[in-house]
Structure 1
Amino acid sequence: MQNEPLFTYRVEDGRQVPLLVWQLDRPALAISSGPLGGGIGVRHWVVNATVPMSYRRDDPEVHLGELADRLGLRGPGVGLLTGVDVTEVVATADDGVRVWATVGLGAPIWAAAEPAPTPAPAPAPVPAPASGSVQHVGTVNVVALLPERLGDAALVNAVATITEAKAQALRELGLPATGTATDAVTVLCPPDGPAAPYGGPRSRWGAPLARAACRAVRDGGALPIVPWSHR
């Protein structure tokens, strides 16, 4: 299974827009909350695609499928979107586990916040910032690669472990939040072999996964990342 993503670009509105692409040398068992290829199943590739801050498509799965076609990707895969320039990806490793995170923390939330008393208005397109100003985006995408197959329950637990580690990273950054409203997680592992039964933060693979994910989100959150469309 390929261990490093490929940086590439697509042309949209006359500009080159970056993507991260994992072209797996053999299919992987995956669990994902991404808009394309979410759920549990065998996947052949992963794409983490930058989009402008003004992105307003309501069919992200279709858009990601179009991008995959343009890249010549075949078979089912996972697609993620972010306003972060994905060339700012942070890669970490711990005891055989690999993690990549693109981190935008400009729209932090508490997961269990009380609902707003009145419906919020639809967001307006985000204008370009004034010269010299910085506007951060609010999506954290995490992709993790494990060297041993996990059972289905362990895959679910691995997603929870990454989410807990992300919340720990935000605490260590001093940010009063558990994440953003648009975060996504993808975990990949071999599709065959004996299945490890646990993915919690004290399990064989959950422990290094938690450490690597926490470090990736913490390090990514400390970067002064500028939205791609404003560069």
Structure 2
Amino acid sequence: MLNEPVLTTRPEDGWDIPLLVWRADAPLQAVSSAPLGGGIGVRRWVVNATVPMSYHRDDPADHLAGLADRLGLAGPGIGLLTGVDVAEVVARADTGVRVWATIGLGTPVWAAAPAPAAPAQRVGTVNIVAYVPAALGDAALVNAVATATEAKAQAIWELGLPATGTPTDAVTVLCPADGPVEPYGGPRSTWGAPLARAVHAAVRDGGAASCVPWSDRWTG
């Protein structure tokens, strides 16, 4: 079981900057595109950390590992970064699937864009963390990432944005490491369907709110 996230802060550059921490009661199987703990494997925790919009470190995995160490998080885990205030996380659930999303749509882009986004555009990140209460095989985990991404893109389209996401979105899906293995994670599968609905609701509802970058609250 993945516990509800705990909101805490860390001192950095003279500010108390927020971050969310999820802890698992037992090791979970996971798939993630996060800079720390990405790929497929057993994970014990997840961190989603706010960073200022001026963030320019080129070692995000090391940065996140340091944050995890200061939090006393042991074993392998997953670390995500975002420019939005993670205190505004949106949580949704459907048929036992739970989803948490932090939504920054400052740089909406089409995935198949003809040219890179202009450098002057604001940064935005949609980070999705999902827990499925049934063991998923590796192929089903990969399919679940695709399902979550499709649901995110549907929500963004319904919000009226000409985009499928932002350049820095990340998805993490976790599930029990033991038990009968589900082979499918597509949008019409037993667990992919509620995953899609929960992700869609979280991104739609969170994206409809005004998502102000965390650092803008201080810099104006």
With the length of structure 1 as denominator, give the TM-score of the two structures.
Answer: 0.91
Paired position in structure 2 for 1:148:
134
- Structure 1 runs of 4+ aligned residues shifted over 6 Å read none
Among candidates 167, 192, 203, match of residue 178 of structure 2:
192
Question: Is 1:73 aligned to 2:73, yes or no?
Answer: yes
SS at match of 2:215: helix
Partners of 1:170 and 1:178 within 8 A in 2: yes
SS at match of 1:68: helix
Structure 1 residue 171: Cα displacement: 1.1
SS at match of 2:48: strand
CA distance in structure 1 between the aligned counterparts of 2:115 and 2:11, rounded to whole angstroms: 39
Paired position in structure 2 for 1:18:
18
Partners of 2:105 and 2:211 within 8 A in 1: no
Paired position in structure 2 for 1:100:
100
Partners of 1:51 and 1:83 within 8 A in 2: yes
Deviation by residue 1:131-168 (Cα, 9 ceiling, x = unmatched): xxxxx741000000010000000000000000000010
Among candidates 161, 171, 175, match of residue 161 of structure 2:
175
How much is the aligned-residue C-alpha RMSD, in angstroms?
Answer: 1.5
Structure 1 residue 225: Cα displacement: 1.7
Partners of 1:200 and 1:207 within 8 A in 2: yes
Question: Is 1:201 aligned to 2:187, yes or no?
Answer: yes
Deviation by residue 1:170-210 (Cα, 9 ceiling, x = unmatched): 11101110000000000000001111000000000000000
Deviation by residue 1:100-156 (Cα, 9 ceiling, x = unmatched): 00000010000011135xxx89x58x9xxxxxxxxx741000000010000000000
CA distance in structure 1 between the aligned counterparts of 2:212 and 2:165, rounded to whole angstroms: 18
Paired position in structure 2 for 1:224:
210
SS at match of 2:178: coil
Paired AA for residue 51 in structure 2: V
The size of the alignment, in residue pairs, is 217
Paired position in structure 1 for 2:146:
160
CA distance in structure 2 between the aligned counterparts of 1:205 and 1:61, rounded to whole angstroms: 30
Partners of 2:133 and 2:175 within 8 A in 1: yes
SS at match of 2:55: coil
Partners of 2:105 and 2:207 within 8 A in 1: yes
Structure 1 stretches of 5 or more lacking a match?
127-135
Report which of the two structures shows the higher radius of gyration computed on alpha carbons.
1
Partners of 1:6 and 1:20 within 8 A in 2: yes
SS at match of 1:44: strand
CA distance in structure 2 between the aligned counterparts of 1:53 and 1:3, rounded to whole angstroms: 29
Partners of 1:84 and 1:137 within 8 A in 2: no
Structure 1 residue 63: Cα displacement: 0.2
Question: Is 1:111 aligned to 2:111, yes or no?
Answer: yes
CA distance in structure 2 between the aligned counterparts of 1:214 and 1:26, rounded to whole angstroms: 28
Deviation by residue 1:15-72 (Cα, 9 ceiling, x = unmatched): 1000000011111000000000000000010000000000000110000000000100
Paired AA for residue 56 in structure 2: R
